[in-house]
């Protein structure tokens, strides 16, 4: 019996022996007399026992070496008593492993507040065995997720001194924003609690202590903090990684990312905040009077594991947060929304059903189509855009011609002329072109020493930071990096300036003509309001969703390029630090802060109502009066797969007029439409599911309409709720996608004191017989005061087997 030890009375799995402290042989007295009657037999017994002990020892070591953290997901809780739920989890593990002691050693987390499940150390065979237990929805291995890594608030219209506006009156008072991220640096002035209201009475969280973090680090701004690392420790314990970045076994932020996102969402007012003199001004979060709850589940170089993320969700639901912000995500290919491997979809579903609005970043794999993540319909998924602030930096050539790039490296420039050279001229190996974009080890140190080096990016595989390291190691004193349009500036150890190919070519032309080319690099300046904006950032991930193309993603766009916010100080001598960072990680907390403002003004609004208000009031127009553009390999007009409903407009979102509301039941019907099993949906939602009556996924009551497979005609239904004037009349304004006929029935919606919810349908028709790409349009309802706009995306197909051909 391979893998089992068979004895007289019972059999015991080898991998279960680790749970036994003492193993007893069961023998009667006659058997013992017979066994000791001869020395030969006795010797054989001793030998057998020695061999058995060796076998057990080897087997147990093998079991422990191959144990991994698995998440056992049980769906919605069976009861509201956390202690009973936890006891049930331990009973399951005890049944599997054979003893309470083994169960205690195996389990690392019990999820018992927002949903039911646990994370435990299991072998592959143990995981397969427990997957067959009654009530188990899914068992999956622990996986890693990555972080998507003050002028912006004025830019989007939230001004400190505005009056008569619901947004600026509330400033997020009474709301709690939870951040699942890398922690917080509590000494930052952005987390000062001066002027903050008392802690809300519905708060049930704690201020968890740890390394360099205690209860005094919480206040009326940071009202709670927890940290979750068991999943990360188990995942990386056998990798023998050398981590050169300091992190803390506590809620204290070791990398700065969580501090930045928290202060962006709800940082308090800080005068003269700046990054080395750049971007100086009043720093503040979107909801400066909202409270913060910190959930550290992401660690330096280790990312964020499923086990830790789910525990953070579980505790946030228990603690009583109103908004959750996650600048974290998966990568494609995506998992289904009932698959535990998408821990963000699962955790956010349970949070949403409890009335918590969950905001997530779209990902940083743009500008390629279908790269967007966090695509579940109950999430608010945020794309990143630029703002109207830039940091122009002068490059003066030896012929007195001045060209311009951008940089955030200040006080590093020598302000004098030095030699400038093109990287290919100083290549160590002229048989390849690795020196062109200054790849590591590609430059001749003798020729680079003391010079500014011009490099041309060949692709997005080499960035300005890596190139600057190459130049510095070769003895260069400055870098000019020519590349295709790419948003977000990075700081280097030597002066580094980013330019486009056009400016880079002009500099190269000068180098080729001059006998002794020289150049001077100036310090960057801060310029506001002179560049057309916003633009969709080149890195911002794009739709359509590869998992559910009938759900428009992203939902909304917000500032995410060169955003200044609080950061971990560079050294222990300073308690405050500010940094300029770029990413959809930075866009996400902007929307989380605005969601808190809306929640504060409308405390009874559901997560879907808040999402609807954001999407239907968003802007599609830049500061120059033209359509918002999307940056990438080529610049184009932004479409709904770039910006969703558009660029967030908080002043309009606070008073949207109409909202598209959706309930848990609506989301369950949507999951049924995707063909998921009744059992998996039932356990997810803790309710009896009937998927017999099939519904069309396009009819989920979203504030957008997407039809990925229009064959000839389709009818889409929606329902709107009046949240504006009681007696109001809205008319439909139709902008049909090119080549598609679009009819709205009825064309007028009349609301009064007894009728505040009304349905309508939209009929799409096409005679097109060729396969097409997505076309875009919109449907806007207006009462003369409000514009309630739903973005539309339609793709015409001609036969059933069409699949991205």
Could you tell me the two tokens for 611? 């999402």
Which sign does the torsion angle of CA 210, 212, 216, 221 carry?
negative
Residue (of 309, 261, 268) closest to 111 by Cα position: 309
Sheet holding 748-751, edge to edge: 705-710, 787-796, 775-782, 728-735, 748-751
Q: How far apart are the first and last CA of the chain?
A: 53
Choice among 235, 257, 260, 786 that is catalytic: 257
Helix (H) or strand (E) holding 178, with range, is strand 176-181
DSSP state of 443: B
Among 106, 148, 181, 582, the active-site one is: 181
Residues 6+ apart with CB under 8 A from 356: 178, 316, 317, 321, 322, 323, 324, 607
* Geometric angle at alpha carbon 242, from 241 and 243, rounded to 5°: 105
Q: Tell me whether residue 181 is one of the annotated catalytic residues.
A: yes
Return the exposure string of 273-303: e unless at least 16 CB atoms fall within 10 Å of the residue's CB, then b.
Answer: bbbbebbbbebbbbbbbbbbbbbbbbbbebb
Clarify whether 260 is annotated catalytic. Answer: no
Of 155, 173, 188, 161, whose CA–CA distance to 288 is shortest? 173
* Known active-site residue 468: no
567-575 — which CB contacts under 8 Å span 24+ positions?
567/185, 567/188, 567/256, 567/259, 567/260, 568/185, 568/253, 568/254, 568/255, 568/256, 568/259, 569/185, 575/187, 575/188
CB 504 within 8 A of CB 480: yes
**Phi, psi for residue 118 in degrees, rounded to 5:** -155, 160
Tokens matching residue 157? 């219209």
DSSP 116: E
Q: Are 224 and 218 in contact (CB under 8 A)?
A: yes
A 10 A CB-CB count for 446 gives: 9
Active-site position among 188, 585, 608, 704: 585
The residues annotated as belonging to the active site are: 181, 257, 585
């Amino acid at each position: 019996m391979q893998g089992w030890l068979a004895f007289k009375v019972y059999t015991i799995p080898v991998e279960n022996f680790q749970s036994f402290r003492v193993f007893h042989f069961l023998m009667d007295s006659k058997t013992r007399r017979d066994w000791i009657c001869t020395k030969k037999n006795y010797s054989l017994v001793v030998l057998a026992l020695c061999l058995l002990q060796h076998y057990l020892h080897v087997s147990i070591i093998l079991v422990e070496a191959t144990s991994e953290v698995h998440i056992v997901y049980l769906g919605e809780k069976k009861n509201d008593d956390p202690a009973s739920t936890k006891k049930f989890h331990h009973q399951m593990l005890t049944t599997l492993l054979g003893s309470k002691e083994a169960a205690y050693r195996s389990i690392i987390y019990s999820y018992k507040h927002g949903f039911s499940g646990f994370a435990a150390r299991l072998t592959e065979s143990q995981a397969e065995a427990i997957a067959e237990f009654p009530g188990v929805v899914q068992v999956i291995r622990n996986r890693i997720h990555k972080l998507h890594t003050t002028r912006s608030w004025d830019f989007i219209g939230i001004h400190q001194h505005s009056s008569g506006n619901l947004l600026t009156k509330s400033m997020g008072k009474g709301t709690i924003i939870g951040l699942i991220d890398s922690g917080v640096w509590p000494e930052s002035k952005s987390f000062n609690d001066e002027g903050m209201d008392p802690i809300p009475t519905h708060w049930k969280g704690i201020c968890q202590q740890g390394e360099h973090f205690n209860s005094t680090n919480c206040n009326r701004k940071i009202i709670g903090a927890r940290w979750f690392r068991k999943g990360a420790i188990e995942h990386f314990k056998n990798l023998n990684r050398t981590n050169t970045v300091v992190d803390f076994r506590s809620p204290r932020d070791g990398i700065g990312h969580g501090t930045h996102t928290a202060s962006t969402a709800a940082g308090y007012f800080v005068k003269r905040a700046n990054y080395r003199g750049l971007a100086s001004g009043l720093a503040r979060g979107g909801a400066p009077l909202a409270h913060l709850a910190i959930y550290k589940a992401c660690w330096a170089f280790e990312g964020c594991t499923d086990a830790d993320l789910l525990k953070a969700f579980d505790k946030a639901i228990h603690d009583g947060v109103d908004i959750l912000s996650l600048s974290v995500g998966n990568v494609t290919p995506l998992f289904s929304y009932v698959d535990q491997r998408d821990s963000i979809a699962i955790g956010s579903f349970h949070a949403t059903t409890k009335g918590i609005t969950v905001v997530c970043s779209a990902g940083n794999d743009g500008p390629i189509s279908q790269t967007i993540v966090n695509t579940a319909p109950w999430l608010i998924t945020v794309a990143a855009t630029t703002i109207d602030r830039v940091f122009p930096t002068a490059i003066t050539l030896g012929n007195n011609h001045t060209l311009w790039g951008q940089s955030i490296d200040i006080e590093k420039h020598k302000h004098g002329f030095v030699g400038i050279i093109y990287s290919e001229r100083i290549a160590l190996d002229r048989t390849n072109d690795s020196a062109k974009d200054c790849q590591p080890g590609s430059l001749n140190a003798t020729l680079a020493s003391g010079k500014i080096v011009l490099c041309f990016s060949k692709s997005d595989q080499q960035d300005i930071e890596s190139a600057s390291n190459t130049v510095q190691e070769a003895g260069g004193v400055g870098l000019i990096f020519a590349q295709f349009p790419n948003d977000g500036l990075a700081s280097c150890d030597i002066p580094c300036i980013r330019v486009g190919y056009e400016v880079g070519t002009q500099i190269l032309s000068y180098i080729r003509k001059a006998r002794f080319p020289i150049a001077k690099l100036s310090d960057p300046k801060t310029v506001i309001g002179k560049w057309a904006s916003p633009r969709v950032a080149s890195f911002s991930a794009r739709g359509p969703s590869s998992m559910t193309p009938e759900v428009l993603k992203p939902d909304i766009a917000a500032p995410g390029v060169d955003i200044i916010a609080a950061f971990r100080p560079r050294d222990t001598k300073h308690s405050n630090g500010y940094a300029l960072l770029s990413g959809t990680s930075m866009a996400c907390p902007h929307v989380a802060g605005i969601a808190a403002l809306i929640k504060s003004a409308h405390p009874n609004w559901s997560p879907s109502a808040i999402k609807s208000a954001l999407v239907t009031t968003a802007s599609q127009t830049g500061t120059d009066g033209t359509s918002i553009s999307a940056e990438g390999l080529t610049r184009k007009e932004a479409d709904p797969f770039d910006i969703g409903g558009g660029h967030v407009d908080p002043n309009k979102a606070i008073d949207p007029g109409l909202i598209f509301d959706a309930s848990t039941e609506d989301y369950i019907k949507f999951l049924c439409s995707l063909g998921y099993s009744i059992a998996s949906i039932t356990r997810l939602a803790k309710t009896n599911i009937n998927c017999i009556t099939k519904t069309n996924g396009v009819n989920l009551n979203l504030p957008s309409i997407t039809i990925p497979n229009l064959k000839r005609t389709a009818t889409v239904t929606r329902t709107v709720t009046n949240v504006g004037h009681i007696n109001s009349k809205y008319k439909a304004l139709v902008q049909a996608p090119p080549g598609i006929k679009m009819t709205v029935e009825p064309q007028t919606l009349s609301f009064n004191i007894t009728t505040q919810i009304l349905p309508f349908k939209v009929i799409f028709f096409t005679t097109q017989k060729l396969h097409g790409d997505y076309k875009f349009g919109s449907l806007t309802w207006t009462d003369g005061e409000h514009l309630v706009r739903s973005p539309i995306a339609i793709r015409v197909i001609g036969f059933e087997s069409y699949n991205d051909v």
